[in-house]
Structure 1
Amino acid sequence: MAGTLPAAGPAAAADAQRVTVDLAASEGPVMLGANGTLYGLSDDGVPSDAMLAPLKITSVSQKPEGGAQHPNGDALTVSKSFFRNGGGEINVMMQDIYAKWPYEDLGIEDYLPKVDKIVKEVAADPNSERFVYIPFNEPDQIWYNLGTSDQAQYEINRDRFFKDWKTVYERIRAIDPDARIAGPNESGYHTRLLTDFLAFAKRENVLPQIMTWHELDSSSLKNFQGNYDNYRSMERQLGIAPLKINIDEYANRRDLSVPGQLAQWVAMFERNKVYANQAYWDAAGNLDGNVVRSNIPNGGWWFFRWYAGLTGDTVKVTPPQANAVDTLQGLASYDRKRRQAQVLLGGSAGDADVVVRNVSRSVFGRTVTATVAEAAWSGYEGQHATPRVLARTKVKVAADGTVTVPLRGLHKMSAYRVVLTPGGSGTPAAASVPWSASYEAEDAAITDGKVYTQGTVSNANGYAASGTKDVGSLSMATSKVDFTVDVPRAGTYDLAILYGNQSGTPATQKLSVDGRAPATVSYPSTENWTYRAKKDVTVDLPAGRHTLTLAKGDAEVTLDRVDLTARASAVPSASYEATLADISGRPSYDYSSSAGVGTGSLGLRPGDKAVFDVYAPRDGYYSVVPRSSAPVRLELHGQKVTAVPGKALRLYLVAGNNRVAVTAKSASVRSLDVSGAGSTSGTLSYEGASATLAGGAKLVDSAYASAGSSIGWLGNSAASTAEFTVDAPKSGRYMLVISYAHNERRDNGHSYNTDIMSRTAELTVGTAAPRTVTFKNTWSWDDYWTLGVPVDLKAGSNTLTFGNASAWAPNIDRIELGRVIG
């Protein structure tokens, strides 16, 4: 983990980069335009509501209902979860009605009936005004070849495209007169085409309401500003009022999931107030590489959660180098009403000074509390706990109104958040940062393995890798990687292993310390060898130098990096500051004291609400303590409970993110403190073998299931069901955690999309109406994931029945139930 020097420490490092933030130079209200995704949603529930709601996503791009391009991600289907979680608008990629890539060119006459069907369906939706039609996708490459260097041929192709654009545009408007249409949607920025297109579209009265193009190259980080400025100058020259812009595909594989890379893209889009959607390179339903499974955040998700937390106006940020690829970039916001300034930055290693200018003493006082946190890269499929606070210090506002926050030892792939709030009285609690060190696999001693280069500027669509290298081909019996580590003291250390496993089942390696008897490390499957996940284990080490060996077990596993961190306490804990929570109503912000957590307190009255995003490493019970001046009301998983100040509640949290809402008649709330490792004491557990099976459902052997078998062949018939009888000690709201596996896929012949399928099951509790539960693909039939579903049980015997009359349900290993209030 990166560290920071306290404000009163040594002078700035001579080679520290400088990021300057000017709170007096407003760029306009925070728009959150750059948090969109292409095929980021695959099904209702994938990703989960708890993953969607905190990000305040402004736009997504999805295929039309029934489109053959991919097996899921239909716009109308996913709109339900998107809109109920505060989503903005949905771009309908109309040509994704076709199956092949590039789209089969059957002529405009074949396309028009498809256009009619799409528009009629969207126009009939109750939220039709929140959809945007994108009639063509990458016409510079597909169907029209508008990128040809032959000018004569370009003009022929251009005129055919313009004719078809007008035809389709008018066809859409004839069916849906209020339709918003976007385009031309080229694969990159093309001055020649856009100049001609704007002139034509204005003349023929077929201007899009939203201008779209793609930025899909590393050079976009350098060139986008020029492209944007050039486009706006075209509008002015043609007398066209500024159109809304949506860069509806951006970034490369090496950028997605990487907080430091994402910071660069988001900074330039938010600065220019354009909307932007991350590109879809791999799997639908994970917000383009930022959600693990369905409900677990990675480092990228936390960066976007920070982005969604910006309020007020964005203000001018001057980076060390403007518009430069892979350099330190940032964005910042200033909210005078909340008396907060926030800076997000990333993209470079080393040291930096964040210099904030025009810090108003009438807003902040003579001192500010500067809180610094890090969102690290944890892989595309690697879980990331609540970002660790690296520093919390009280800083004097200089006579010229500046505050300098030194950051030392930045990691290139991490993003950082600096929050400034009024200092008030008292001393903020110093951040507790455990010793930590990282070790690259390519720098270790490698036996019978090979170093591969990944995700560089010149190979931007390679997968991200720490240090741009990893170690693969560890396929021989003698294959191993020896890491030499040096720890400062004896104790227990957390070892995080960034790995890849495409073997088709969970795979193992042997972990040994200094050549002693090895322990087995089991790695769940990943999408492929380079779609990185993270495995957390613990090791006990004496002080000094050691060799940690990861040797081949039962299958090949690739290795990228290991992180070794001293365990600070036996029980993990995190404190969530109330002044940084999501709010509704009109709560007040009080910074009179910076003692303790250090970001003040939130005053709640009737009608006010604060929502905290609470991370749990696994399903189970945790201790939740509100630091408040009076009793507050907590709501979790649809269950409400009164919490007394300082008194712990035992609450059931599901693995990943949990949204905890806090209300009060009148209370000052400073933080929500959560601790624990996910206790299962007091839960009800039932193996698949205990269920009553009917209609062809049967137990199937599985070496990786908890009891050696799981329920298979479930569904595809109304008669095929699995019924569990559970004995609830009390009536009330329970969390039902289902352990399941499935690996259904559909190969559409695309070279870069996996086209994984989700499965569903109808869950019936007693005599209640059935509800549909969606289960994301687990990458193999032998990998069991968990999914939490709130259910209401009566005291005594209850039946939980799973089935699916029209399609196969997932294989079910076991179920566990815990009262929400334990």
Structure 2
Amino acid sequence: MAGTLPAAGTATAAADPQRVTVDLAASEGPVMHGANGTLYGVSDDGVPSDAALAPLKITSVSQKPEGGAQHPNGDALTVSKSFFRNGGGEILVMMQDIYSKWPYEDLGIDDYLPKVDKIVKEVSADPNSDRFVYIPFNEPDQIWYNLGTSDQAQYEVNRDRFFKDWKTVYQRIRAIDPDARIAGPNESGYHTRLLTDFLAFAKRENVLPQIMTWHELDSSSLRNFQGNYDSYRAIEKNLGIAPLKINIDEYANRRDLSVPGQLAQWVSMFERNKVYANQAYWDAAGNLDGNVVRSNIPNGGWWFFRWYAGLTGNTVKVTPPQANSIDTLQGLASYDKKRRQAQVLLGGSAGDSDVVVQNVSRSVFGRTVTATVAESAWSGYEGQHAAPRVLARTKVRVAADGSVTVPLRGMHKMSAYRIALTPGGSGTPSTASVPWSASYEAEDAAITDGKVYTQGTVSNANGYAASGTKDVGSLNTASSKVDFTVDVPAAGTYDLAILYGNQSGTPATQKLSTDGEDPVTVSYPSTENWTYRAKKDVTVELPAGRHVLTLAKDDAEVTLDRIDLTARTAAAPSASYEATLADISGKPSYDYSSSAGVGTGALVLRSGDKAVFDAYAPRDGYYTVVSRANAAVKLELHGEKVTAAPGRALRLYLVAGNNRIAMTAKGASVRSLDVSGAGSTSGALSYEGASATLTGGAKLVDSAHASAGSYIGWLGNSASSTAEFTVDAPKSGRYILVIDYAHNDRRDNGHSYNTDIMSRTADITVGSDAPQKVTFKNTWSWDDYWTVGVPVDLKKGSNKVTFGNASAWAPNIDRIELGRVIG
């Protein structure tokens, strides 16, 4: 397994590991979290969910104007409600996205100006208007103005026309909204010629943007950005312009998005230079540009950004093995003297590395530190990722020169790693439990009637990410199969994770067999396309030794990328969420007197303090939650509060994906919040669609893919079309209503790359309460059922739960489940 630390006193495994140095004495200024932005990362209120948005502390998003025709959703004012509710920073309004075609239809500035007026009037009337930024033009070097031409004479003609229009639109915006913040020129790449001319003109004419924007959309950006940034700052200085805020409002390629190791390279260079940056929108809106699964489930990219959001204090200088190089080991680090913590995030290279942290103050950390290493692996764009596994937790002595060396061995290129350093204190940290694991690439297996394809590479950066840059597709004949030869150390149960793609338009199946024995069926939910990778988890029983695992075509084609085998070491998954690394509010203190147990010390909560933990659940259901504290604490989950006695297990209902659990206390020292279980539904209430009373046009539709053979369809689009469930609650209180649903609404406007999927909504009414409007993301096919969990209050006994939508179609509903938050 990657990233393990050798035992104290042993030699390192690698002969010549790469070296990364972190200098805690070389501050770069406060952590800005500027590189976590997204373009169309939010599509609707609820897509992504609040629990997926809030932990990332997103500083900026780029969205279209209200009613813009470029895409069917992602309207700036509409999504602002959930974005601001969850701690979002500012919204950049892509004003030209009012147009429907790509590239934008050029109807002349006279056509554009009335649209500008409408956009600015609407935004300036919003109560949060000061948190919006106007981007008048998008990629003018290519669109409308052709500013990238090599013909100097033609460039000057085009440039002057653009400058004239920039001034006209800039003044038009300011005439309506005098306090408006305007960003530009927003080129598709960095161009010294244009920016030199533009800044000189904008300064002279008093139309300087408040925010400088351009795009970095090529693998070469990993090499060239630093030079671009330095060049830009030199132009400003030469022209006597005070440094402007910079937002690289589109960055990275498909092969980078969702991949923690790739994201580490981009984020480290942006944070180092203290610029803001938004990931590019290459595929579907509403998934934070490939970093959240469905609406609420984290993937490896989400966890990387969760780590990034958790950096506090100042960033400090990191020296990688190769600066400004494509696809190499890069990192960023933070040092919070008040919290007595240092954190290092790094990734982008396979193999071994020594991370040398210099100037570790003994007055802050003591003579020893606890080094905790965790890995966020690539799980695909649509592949779920549990809480990152702790690979090592070791007490390390601070050397005489004030340094600490943390060796990482066997790193994975697509993974990112976090090293947390905290004072060692007394005691011994518990050894991290790392199960045996191995990965096997499909392209290296024995392939029958299939084809190896090359995916995202440096030269084809906008190809989709694939493990090892290859996958096996065209498994579309009756004899198609892939035989993986595996070798396991012991007899037992193994978790098998299959990275796959399924564009068949319906759930697809393969036959899984071991050593030619009777096969079992593996069912794969749909994905956006063959290469938009997801992850299917199954279990296999294997004797010790060598075996052949065969995945053979069954009812439809499936693309195979890689399989991971991991020994199961416990009856149910579990994770300890360390209190010293939780989100906090108030002024809690940190106690590192003991490093026993999880090793990072304790968080001391008093009245007015709060810690929030992000707890992962593989599916909807009940889990065991334990507070490792020395006194009682209060937990809040889904709007319900409960007292947790020290070490006493609570049975709580968690929704699939991320769950934000808030903890308060009047005085408690907390080491961790421990969550275990596989999502039990024992005690939950379950109702199939056939049990609902249907009115209006709503009707029961037969389906082999629905849980009981039918679903509720044709629901909504009229006030009279409803589905009413009668729910019998054993107790009054707060419940989670889980809706199994499907729909595949999308708009095919011929866009060159974006998948314009659409969401549906339903108004859900419980008893006589006011209806809640709930958003349901597209499920990629009409036969794939996803879940959305909604907190509701039920009274003891009979309750009516009604679904409807008077103005549009609601999703198809398979079944509902209700679990009391406190089980």
Question: Quick check: TM above 0.5?
Answer: yes
Which amino acid in structure 2 is aligned with residue 59 of structure 1? S
Q: Specify the SS of the correspondent of 1:777.
A: coil
User: What is the aligned partner in structure 1 of residue 807 from structure 2?
Assistant: 806
Q: Distance in 2 between matches of 1:449 and 1:12?
A: 38
Q: Distance in 1 between matches of 2:766 and 2:2?
A: 49
- 2:421 paired with 1:427: no
User: What is the aligned partner in structure 1 of residue 702 from structure 2?
Assistant: 701
Query: Deviations along 1:269-313, whole A, 9 cap, x unmatched?
Result: 000000000000000000000000000000000000000000000
User: Per-residue deviation at 1:9?
Assistant: 2.1
Q: Distance in 1 between matches of 2:798 and 2:760?
A: 28
Which amino acid in structure 2 is aligned with residue 589 of structure 1? Y
Which amino acid in structure 2 is aligned with residue 438 of structure 1? S
- Contact between 1:360 and 1:401, CA under 8 Å: does it hold in 2? yes
- Contact between 2:3 and 2:375, CA under 8 Å: does it hold in 1? no
User: What is the aligned partner in structure 2 of residue 559 from structure 1?
Assistant: 560
- 2:788 paired with 1:787: yes
- 2:631 paired with 1:605: no
User: What is the aligned partner in structure 1 of residue 741 from structure 2?
Assistant: 740
Q: Distance in 2 between matches of 1:803 and 1:740?
A: 13
- Contact between 2:270 and 2:276, CA under 8 Å: does it hold in 1? yes
User: What is the aligned partner in structure 1 of residue 175 from structure 2?
Assistant: 174
User: What is the aligned partner in structure 2 of residue 270 from structure 1?
Assistant: 271
User: What is the aligned partner in structure 1 of residue 2 from structure 2?
Assistant: 2
Q: Distance in 1 between matches of 2:794 and 2:561?
A: 45
- 2:637 paired with 1:659: no
- 2:512 paired with 1:511: yes
User: What is the aligned partner in structure 2 of residue 396 from structure 1?
Assistant: 397
**What's the TM-score, normalizing by structure 2?**
1.00
Q: Distance in 2 between matches of 1:152 and 1:519?
A: 69
- 2:532 paired with 1:531: yes
User: What is the aligned partner in structure 2 of residue 683 from structure 1?
Assistant: 684
Q: Distance in 1 between matches of 2:459 and 2:9?
A: 42
What are the residue-to-residue correspondences of 1:33-432 with 2, within 5 Å?
33-432=34-433
Q: Specify the SS of the correspondent of 1:658.
A: strand
User: What is the aligned partner in structure 2 of residue 521 from structure 1?
Assistant: 522
User: Per-residue deviation at 1:12?
Assistant: 6.6
User: What is the aligned partner in structure 2 of residue 27 from structure 1?
Assistant: 28
Which amino acid in structure 2 is aligned with residue 182 of structure 1? A
Q: Distance in 1 between matches of 2:611 and 2:804?
A: 38
Q: Specify the SS of the correspondent of 1:185.
A: strand
User: Per-residue deviation at 1:786?
Assistant: 0.5
Which amino acid in structure 1 is aligned with residue 446 of structure 2? A
- What is the percentage of aligned positions where both structures have the same residue? 89
Query: Tell me, which stretches of 5 or more residues in structure 2 are unaligned?
Result: none
Q: Distance in 2 between matches of 1:471 and 1:785?
A: 27
What are the residue-to-residue correspondences of 1:406-555 with 2, within 5 Å?
406-555=407-556
- 2:822 paired with 1:818: no
- Contact between 2:373 and 2:391, CA under 8 Å: does it hold in 1? yes
Which amino acid in structure 1 is aligned with residue 330 of structure 2? Q
Q: Specify the SS of the correspondent of 1:421.
A: strand
Query: Deviations along 1:64-108, whole A, 9 cap, x unmatched?
Result: 000000000000000000000000000000000000000000000
User: What is the aligned partner in structure 1 of residue 752 from structure 2?
Assistant: 751
Query: Deviations along 1:482-528, whole A, 9 cap, x unmatched?
Result: 00000000000000000000000000000000000000000000000
Worse overlay, 529-538 or 746-755: 746-755
Q: Distance in 1 between matches of 2:569 and 2:381?
A: 26
Q: Specify the SS of the correspondent of 1:78.
A: helix
Aligned residues: 822
- Contact between 1:38 and 1:62, CA under 8 Å: does it hold in 2? yes
Q: Specify the SS of the correspondent of 1:670.
A: strand
Query: Deviations along 1:300-336, whole A, 9 cap, x unmatched?
Result: 0000000000000000000000000000000000000
Q: Distance in 1 between matches of 2:640 and 2:578?
A: 22
Query: Deviations along 1:720-754, whole A, 9 cap, x unmatched?
Result: 00000000000000000000000000012112111
Q: Distance in 2 between matches of 1:151 and 1:706?
A: 65
Q: Distance in 2 between matches of 1:3 and 1:185?
A: 40
Q: Distance in 2 between matches of 1:297 and 1:192?
A: 42
Q: Distance in 2 between matches of 1:596 and 1:754?
A: 47
Query: Deviations along 1:387-441, whole A, 9 cap, x unmatched?
Result: 0000000000000000000000000000000000000000000000000000000
Q: Distance in 2 between matches of 1:73 and 1:265?
A: 25
Q: Distance in 1 between matches of 2:470 and 2:697?
A: 48
Query: Deviations along 1:742-797, whole A, 9 cap, x unmatched?
Result: 00000121121110000000001101111100000000000000000000000000
User: Per-residue deviation at 1:11?
Assistant: 4.1
- Contact between 1:94 and 1:115, CA under 8 Å: does it hold in 2? yes
Which amino acid in structure 2 is aligned with residue 679 of structure 1? S
Query: Tell me, which stretches of 5 or more residues in structure 1 are unaligned?
Result: none
Q: Distance in 1 between matches of 2:425 and 2:703?
A: 60
User: What is the aligned partner in structure 2 of residue 627 from structure 1?
Assistant: 628
Which amino acid in structure 2 is aligned with residue 464 of structure 1? A
Query: Deviations along 1:567-615, whole A, 9 cap, x unmatched?
Result: 0111111000000000000000000000010000000001000000000
Which amino acid in structure 1 is aligned with residue 658 of structure 2? N
User: Per-residue deviation at 1:666?
Assistant: 0.5
- Contact between 1:397 and 1:403, CA under 8 Å: does it hold in 2? yes
Which amino acid in structure 1 is aligned with residue 800 of structure 2? T
What are the residue-to-residue correspondences of 1:757-776 with 2, within 5 Å?
757-776=758-777
Which amino acid in structure 1 is aligned with residue 537 of structure 2? D
**What's the TM-score, normalizing by structure 1?**
1.00
Which amino acid in structure 1 is aligned with residue 77 of structure 2? L
Which amino acid in structure 1 is aligned with residue 781 of structure 2? S
- 2:574 paired with 1:596: no
- Contact between 1:256 and 1:290, CA under 8 Å: does it hold in 2? yes
User: Per-residue deviation at 1:4?
Assistant: 1.4
Q: Distance in 2 between matches of 1:568 and 1:450?
A: 36
Query: Deviations along 1:645-681, whole A, 9 cap, x unmatched?
Result: 0000000000000000000011000000111000000
Q: Specify the SS of the correspondent of 2:79.
A: helix
- Contact between 2:3 and 2:373, CA under 8 Å: does it hold in 1? no
- Contact between 1:12 and 1:353, CA under 8 Å: does it hold in 2? no
Q: Distance in 2 between matches of 1:557 and 1:695?
A: 39
Q: Specify the SS of the correspondent of 2:814.
A: strand
Which amino acid in structure 1 is aligned with residue 38 of structure 2? T
Q: Distance in 1 between matches of 2:292 and 2:345?
A: 20
User: Per-residue deviation at 1:13?
Assistant: 2.8
- Contact between 2:12 and 2:407, CA under 8 Å: does it hold in 1? no
Q: Distance in 2 between matches of 1:620 and 1:687?
A: 17
Q: Distance in 1 between matches of 2:491 and 2:5?
A: 26
- Contact between 1:724 and 1:799, CA under 8 Å: does it hold in 2? yes
- Contact between 2:456 and 2:463, CA under 8 Å: does it hold in 1? yes
